Amino acid sequence: MKIIAIDIRLIGRRRTGDEAVFLNLVRELLLLETEYEYWLLTDRKEPRFLSELQSLLGIRDHHAVRVVSLWGRNRFFWNLVSVPLFLFRRHVDIFHTQYILPAFVPSRTWVVSHIHDISFRVFPELISFSDRQLLALFIPHTMKRADMLIAPSSFTREEIISRYGVDESKIAVVPNAVSVDFKTSLRGPLDLEAVRKKYHLPRRFLLSVGTLQPRKNLPLFLRAFAKIEGKLPEMSVVIAGNRKGHHFDMEIDRTIAENHLEKKVFFPGFIEQGDLAAVYLLASAFVFPSRYEGFGIPLLEAFLAGIPVGASDIPALREVGTNSVRYFTAMWFAQRRWWLTGGDIEILPRLNRRGFFCPTRLHHGGAQRRLRRDWLFPLTPCKQRTIFVPTTARFL
């Protein structure tokens, strides 16, 4: 039986985009009837965590799946020692990871790497020195050694080609999708008021979901909201994300203090997957002010929830949102401060008066048909394309 090893270290760490992609991708891949055995590599050994992981992935009774705990919580040790030793000692046919490949991989192993975006190359000053060193050391190696790179959008594919000189033939575009859990929650009965109380959410609010890193551009959103707060006295802002996450943007707290928004901005923390759909449904609108993205799953989640969407006018979000989003322009200035260009400063108060293009509301007008249906609905095409890429090139 051929073996596919997958690096699943991110699963269970309460990150948003990249963890959600890998979690759902692994779960869906394991549902396929294939000739492969899956070895899931993690740096955790605690029995409780491993038990929760098996439940999360639904693999307790899966005969073709094995969770493999390797020593090495340090990222350098993991990539320089733990995984190389494992791959050389075991005959692994395909190794699937994201971003960083181990320093040494046997030539017999076919390597696939997910590259969600290359924001670290575009804005290196927004990440820590240690991360810059790690990425500078391993990313060029990944681009060269990987047999196949998976990008979530055509924009990310072109960025990889232009900034790393990678041959376009080794990059496959596999768009992300909304998770099965999210869609199931939307279809089932939801106790919205229970979710509101659980996360202490206000009655009316503009929602932002994701990591709280500088590239997410949340100070721009907060400054814009401060300018129109008087016109929308009942409106608040909810920023859902882990404040203890990697590269938290300290400018967020400074912006709140400078604009006296302490009573208007709410941080519910990480939203559990089973509650996320309800939080979207409770929101008046979704705002996505990122400076740089590789895809933008929250756009799709907001579309399915049927709420208006406002997003920064950047290539990846244009590719995903097409004409179903009201876009605004963000500009980068010195001292890491984000501002709206003059003509768009009144974008937020017009949310309720004019509304945004929303695919749920414009279904018969054709807006939804312009969206990629495999992004909005089944995760199956994504998993099938992902498994198709390495297996056809390697074995068929």
180-376: CATH superfamily? Glycogen Phosphorylase B; (3.40.50.2000)
Would you say the pTM of this structure is higher than 0.85? Answer: no
Alpha-carbon gap, residue 173 to 160, rounded angstroms: 12
Q: Between vectors from CA 237 to CA 236 and to CA 243, what angle results, nearest 5°?
A: 140
Residue intervals of the chain classified under CATH 3.40.50.2000 are 2-177+379-394, 180-376
pLDDT tens digits, the chain, 396 residues: what are they? Answer: 799 999 998 887 765 667 888 888 888 888 887 788 999 999 988 999 888 888 888 887 788 889 999 987 788 888 889 999 999 999 999 999 988 898 899 999 999 999 999 998 988 888 888 888 888 888 999 999 999 999 999 999 999 999 999 999 999 999 998 888 888 888 878 899 999 999 999 999 999 999 899 999 999 999 999 998 888 899 999 999 888 877 889 999 999 999 999 999 999 998 988 899 999 999 999 999 999 999 999 999 999 999 999 999 999 999 999 988 999 886 533 223 333 333 333 443 443 333 333 333 323 233 333 344 344 444 444 454 444 444 333 332
2-177+379-394 topology per CATH? Rossmann fold (3.40.50)
Q: Determine how many CB atoms are found less than 10 A away from the CB of residue 190.
A: 16
Nearest to 275 by CA among 188, 151, 366: 188
Alpha-carbon gap, residue 388 to 367, rounded angstroms: 30
